[in-house]
Amino acid sequence: MHRPLPSTGRRNKAELSATPPMKDPVNLKLLELVRLRAAQIHHYASPVARSSHELELEEKGETADRLAELPDWETSSAFDDREKAALTLCDQISHDPEQALPEGLVRETLRHFTKAQMVRLTVAILAVNDWHFCAF
């Protein structure tokens, strides 16, 4: 009797593109922007990671001007309130991942994102942070 091999959990690009969209997705460009910000906080622990985030953003139409302003996003007018909420969440988690998020930050983030979207953002941020800590 033939049994299929167990899944490795990995999916190739063709499989991912065939996956139906999530009911409540976070914009992929915003997710990549948050990933790049987390990498910046950790001083680009891997130059490969830095360039891959930037390349992904450029492919999604991100401008060089906005990428240049990302380190100073808090004072930049290049980012809208929704992006700033995601970047605030990123900074808080990346700088102090073991502390609970302040209630005010959670409320502000939930003004711009659903709970499911906030979870997706948080997981994306934690994944980049984990890669940074694994590199050492």
pLDDT tens digits for 64-110? 899 889 999 999 999 999 999 999 999 999 988 788 899 999 999 99
Question: How many other CB atoms sit within 10 Å of the CB of residue 73?
Answer: 20
CATH H-level, domain 25-134: superfamily: AhpD-like (1.20.1290.10)
Question: What's the pLDDT score for residue 97?
Answer: 77
pLDDT band, very low/low/confident/very high, at 121 (cuts 50, 70, 90): very high
Q: What value does the mean pLDDT take over residues 46-59?
A: 67
- H helix or E strand, kind and range, residue 24: none
In sequence order, the 6+-apart residues with CB closer than 8 A to the CB of 124 are: 26, 31, 34, 35
Q: Measure the CA–CA gap between 117 and 26, rounded to whole angstroms.
A: 6
Average confidence (pLDDT) over 123-134:
81
How would you classify residue 23: left for phi > 0, otherwise alpha for psi between -120 and 50, otherwise beta? alpha
Biggest alpha carbon distance in the chain? 64
Mean pLDDT of all residues in the chain?
Answer: 78
Separation between Cα atoms, residue 117 and residue 74, nearest integer Å: 21
Q: Which two tokens stand for residue 57?
A: 């953003």
- What pLDDT does residue 25 have? 64
Whose tokens are 């930049």? That residue is 76
Residue 7 has pLDDT above 50, yes or no: no
Residue 5 clears pLDDT 50, i.e. is over it: no
Confidence of residue 14 (pLDDT cuts 50, 70, 90): very low
Distance of CA 99 to the CA centre of its chain: 19
